[in-house]
Amino acid sequence: MINSELPINQSRWFQRMALLTVAVVYLLILVGGIVRSTGAGMGCPDWPQCFGSWVPPTEESQLPFNYKVIYGEKLKGEVEFNATKTWIEYLNRLFGAFTGLLIFATLLASVPFLRKDRPIFYMSLLAFVLVGFQGWLGSKVVSFELKPVMVTIHMMVAVVIVFVLLYVLARSYVHNIQIEKVVNKSFLNKYFGWVIGLSLLQIVMGTQVREAIDEVIKTMGYDARDQWVGALDYRFYVHRSFSLIILSLHLGLIYFLRKNTSINGFLGKLTTALLVIIVVEITTGIVLAYWSVPAFAQPIHLTLAIVAVGVQFVGFLLLNSESLLKKSDVLESNLQTY
């Protein structure tokens, strides 16, 4: 097998680095949710600097006397300097830069796989390219003044980066786990496909609800938080009702996996953890709907949704771990022949 020929320290270093990077990407998504829920997205009205400086001010006296004229157009109605929002957005940018460095470190750690399991290297390279694109997209989010569609695209690219990193992580580990005996794999693959696809659809609908809230905020303001939900359109009710379908799909997933795989196997444990995530996710949605959209619940709700779809993807990869091993063995045979 491919990975077994790598020095143990190199393989473990890559796995640890990839795992750390995935965790930090999820934290970055959480931080991004905090930025949006607190309305701090334009806390830094320029990019990549913040109020024309690499280290933003902490009080208004540190800004030019005419900063309202300079940045007033960008800040729309919020021309008063807000140190809290500025530093929330600035820390988000710093955390994004740190994430980029970790993804680059993961790419470097994947180099030994170039001759042993090429997809690990190339997918690590893809993650690095995507994070560069994500940084550029972040600048466009600012220049377009938080246009909802740009914010949504920015978030969906983060989901793609998570999927790519989870793929290389799962592929690096697949040689070190015992493959479970699976019955009706074709059916389970299709079921996983539906679960992942509809969960992604639910995330997209959630972004539509968030965009609707942004529209309500423009007319009602942040002080009318307790009236936001009542002013939402059909998108909110579709998203809320669809959560019951998502819950039902996950109950079915656990049933079919336990019926066709080992209950005590990794897949069984993974899907049980997934159900817990979904229940907590729906609970945060209830809190948002019936407790005046509290700011703390918004980033948690978003992050849990992306964690859930990531766990689904890992489950799908593990279900097909045997085919991944076969592809690696074929690659090794071709390289040796060459």
Average per-residue pLDDT for the chain: 84
Could you tell me the pLDDT band of residue 331, with boundaries at 50, 70 and 90?
Answer: very low
In this structure, the answer to whether residues 127 and 12 fall within a common structural domain is yes
In this structure, the answer to whether residues 166 and 33 fall within a common structural domain is yes
Main-chain dihedrals φ then ψ at residue 53, nearest 5 degrees:
-135, 150
The single-letter DSSP state of residue 53 is B
Show the tokens assigned to 273.
């953890």
Q: Which of 157, 176, 195 is at the close of a domain? A: 176
- CATH at 304: 1.20.120
**Which residues have CB under 8 Å from 58's CB, separation 6+?**
83, 87
Residue 41, Cβ density class (10 Å: 0-12 exposed, 13-18 middle, ≥19 buried): buried
**Which residues have CB under 8 Å from 41's CB, separation 6+?**
35, 89, 141, 142, 146, 151
Of 319 and 261, the structure prediction assigns the larger pLDDT to 319
In this structure, the answer to whether residues 229 and 306 fall within a common structural domain is yes
Could you tell me the pLDDT band of residue 9, with boundaries at 50, 70 and 90?
Answer: low
For residues 225 and 293, the answer to whether their CB atoms sit within 8 Å is yes
The domain total for the chain is 2
Q: What is the pLDDT of residue 2?
A: 39
**Which residues have CB under 8 Å from 321's CB, separation 6+?**
170, 174, 177, 179
The single-letter DSSP state of residue 181 is P
Q: Which of 153, 176, 199 is at the close of a domain? A: 176
Residue 69, Cβ density class (10 Å: 0-12 exposed, 13-18 middle, ≥19 buried): exposed
Residue 28: give the domain boundaries. 1-176
In this structure, the answer to whether residues 152 and 40 fall within a common structural domain is yes
Q: What is the pLDDT of residue 303?
A: 93
CA pair distance 332, 115, nearest whole angstrom = 8
With tokens 């729309």, the residue in question is 76
In this structure, the answer to whether residues 14 and 140 fall within a common structural domain is yes
In this structure, the answer to whether residues 133 and 23 fall within a common structural domain is yes
- pTM for the structure as a whole: 0.83
Q: What is the pLDDT of residue 155?
A: 83
Could you tell me the pLDDT band of residue 326, with boundaries at 50, 70 and 90?
Answer: low
Q: Which of 116, 150, 176 is at the close of a domain? A: 176
Show the tokens assigned to 159.
């989901």
Q: Please give the single-letter amino acid code of residue 157.
A: V
For residues 141 and 92, the answer to whether their CB atoms sit within 8 Å is no
The answer to which of 138-142, 224-228, 287-291 has the lowest mean pLDDT is 138-142
Main-chain dihedrals φ then ψ at residue 39, nearest 5 degrees:
70, 30
